[in-house]
Structure 1
Amino acid sequence: MTRHNVAMRITTLTATIGAAAVCATLSAAHAVAAPFPVATDVPAAIAAGYLQSAQNSPPGSNRWHCRHTDRDPVILLHGTAMNQAANLGYLAPTLANAGFCVFSLTYGQTSWSGNTGGVGNKDRSARQVAAFLDRVLAVTGAQKADFVGHSQGGSIAQLVAQLRTPRVGTIVGVSSPSRGTSRIGAITDRLPARAPGQNYWGPRQPGVAYVNLATRFDEVSTPYPVTLMPPAANVTNIVVQDVCPQSRVGHLGMAFSPTVGALVRNALDPARRTRVPCGGAEFGQ
């Protein structure tokens, strides 16, 4: 074999090894970028979340390095007597896997509530969440953030909109009381922005888009029309059974429903709509 042929073989072998190394690196990167695990068993997810610290984030949430050029960051808010891990194990990873920058916290803890949030004075909870919103915007450089709140979480987001109006883009309420006297409302929980006889959660802000997702089988926010808002240019009301007539999803199940997850995605990013599925455990199948 000539010296020239030896050199050619060495060059070819080097290139092959280099290509293999690149493929291995890409494979490793792909493994790191695997989807976040999504909780689908509602009782198991809630039970596991209650055993965790209130500071533990659900999968996909609070990635403080996350940036997006044409989507607002999304802040998820849990419901009454919950925490972020127990209530958001489906929505957080579902949105993160779809490319959203997701953030969450446990709000409304008291001296006696342990890992459980959503039980404190709602005005104080709103101010706690408003401070978290400030932090998210400062870190991400975004001008506004969107909120997705389950049950009380959506109502707290409406209160935050009274405190940080220019910094709130869209509020998606998932079985969230929006008017009247719900089981999580209290006449003493008022911000100065609300006048006597006015909605508990304050006036609708013209610059905020409100999307309300309801189920006719809600056993907590009852009657279910309290989770809807009067018609307005910036209000969208969706009842799950108008989309999927066979659905029997209840209050807790709304936060773990693939139907609701798709509706949330479409509300947050209507320019990139996803198909809304009908089926699964929430349909009694």
Structure 2
Amino acid sequence: MRLPWRRLLAALSMATALTVLPIAATSASATTGPAPSSGWNDFSCHPSAQHPRPVVLVHGTFANGNDNWLVFAPYLVARGYCVFSFDYGMLPGDSLIGGLTPIAQSAQQLSDFTDRVLAATHAAKVDIVGHSQGGMMPRYYLKFLGGAAKVNTLVGIAPDNHGTTLDGLTALLPYFPGASDFLNAALPGLADQVAGSAFQQQLNAGGDTVPGVHYTVISTKYDEVVTPYTTQALSGPDVHNVVLQDLCPVDASEHVTVGTTDLIAFHEAANALDPAHATPTTCLSALG
């Protein structure tokens, strides 16, 4: 007989996986291997005067560095950016699905990859755009691993900046003895994202932001994974929080599509990367 807490964990995992796995393709990418678009993960790329900082893209949970960015990476390349992505947080023996190991370890992988990008491009700093966990995890890098000296802008698309309740499912964990311990042992990258977890408390203690970094958070009120969606917003002196439906009321993107295919969200992210040349984000931004 299966234990009740195992049913809960199955529900938690499925609730997340069913909304995120559609962005995973059938074949994996190498950690820093060639991406399927010219100019993406091209380590011979040198930033232009117009876009002097390379952009590092950070995928979400249950995703990888290629499949999460099949639309957004070419979008940025077409605008003249040097764009890089990588895989992180993969369990032993898995080369397709990431974001599952302890987030502090994933942040170290981001640190190492950023150093490689800076060395290759000879840039002084990078900009980071992340989706879901990929919008939250870099904050650990900025706060605890020296990333603030190497990052100009962090854009989080549907980031779980203060954890998630998964529409209340995580509140049931204390009622199932052993469930939290099992989740921490088997899927620590998920456990770290539960609202109120030790990781979330450490990440957000002393304030959401660090000096010298520009922050943008793009959320959607239809997010069914990072809930409540209002917890995605950051507090700080150099923060721009925006809800997608305030830019285009008819945009129905949820957690996955806002970070993988939504051109309105991508336009707002591009504005954050180059605020001096920003143009209004509207429903017409969906036309590219």
1:212 Cα deviation (Å)?
0.2
Aligned equivalents of 1:132, 1:101: Cα separation in 2: 14
Equivalent position amino acid for 1:169 in 2: N
Aligned position for 1:15: none
Task: Report 1 or 2 for greater relative contact order, CA contacts < 8 Å, sequence distance ≥ 6.
Answer: 2
1:63 aligns with 2:46: no
Could you tell me which of 249, 255, 272 is aligned with 1:267?
272
Tell me, yes or no, if the aligned pair for 1:176 and 1:227 is still in contact at 8 Å.
yes
Change (3 A) 1:178 1:43: closer
Aligned equivalents of 2:54, 2:66: Cα separation in 1: 19
Aligned position for 1:227: 232
Aligned equivalents of 2:165, 2:142: Cα separation in 1: 20
Equivalent position amino acid for 2:23 in 1: I
Write out per-residue CA displacement over residues 89-135 of structure 1, whole angstroms, 9 at most, x where no aligned residue: 01111011111111110111111433111111111000011010111
Could you tell me which of 24, 44, 51 is aligned with 2:27?
51
Aligned position for 1:17: none
Aligned position for 1:173: 156
1:246 aligns with 2:250: yes
Tell me, yes or no, if the aligned pair for 1:178 and 1:201 is still in contact at 8 Å.
no
1:50 Cα deviation (Å)?
3.8
Q: Which runs of 5+ in 2 are unaligned?
A: 1-18, 167-189
Q: CA RMSD in A?
A: 2.7
Could you tell me which of 95, 119, 132 is aligned with 2:100?
119
Change (3 A) 1:43 1:234: closer
Q: How many residues align?
A: 234
Q: Give the structure-2-normalised TM-score.
A: 0.74
1:45 Cα deviation (Å)?
7.7
Tell me, yes or no, if the aligned pair for 1:76 and 1:105 is still in contact at 8 Å.
yes
Write out per-residue CA displacement over residues 201-259 of structure 1, whole angstroms, 9 at most, x where no aligned residue: 974101111100000000111110111112x3200001010010111111101121010
Aligned equivalents of 1:276, 1:202: Cα separation in 2: 29
Aligned position for 2:122: 141
Equivalent position amino acid for 2:126 in 1: A
Change (3 A) 1:200 1:156: farther
Aligned position for 2:110: 129
Change (3 A) 1:201 1:109: farther
Aligned equivalents of 1:104, 1:182: Cα separation in 2: 28
1:199 aligns with 2:182: no
Change (3 A) 1:137 1:253: same
Tell me, yes or no, if the aligned pair for 1:58 and 1:92 is still in contact at 8 Å.
no
Q: Secondary structure at the match of 2:231?
A: helix
Aligned equivalents of 2:206, 2:103: Cα separation in 1: 10
Q: Secondary structure at the match of 1:84?
A: coil
Aligned equivalents of 1:113, 1:226: Cα separation in 2: 31
Tell me, yes or no, if the aligned pair for 1:79 and 1:152 is still in contact at 8 Å.
yes
Write out per-residue CA displacement over residues 170-214 of structure 1, whole angstroms, 9 at most, x where no aligned residue: 000000011255554153547xxx75xx62797410111110000
Aligned equivalents of 1:116, 1:72: Cα separation in 2: 28
Structure with bigger gyration radius: 1
1:88 aligns with 2:88: no
- Write out the 4+ residue segments of structure 1 that deviate beyond 4 Å after TM superposition: 42-45, 180-184, 200-203
Equivalent position amino acid for 1:61 in 2: W
Q: Give the structure-1-normalised TM-score.
A: 0.74
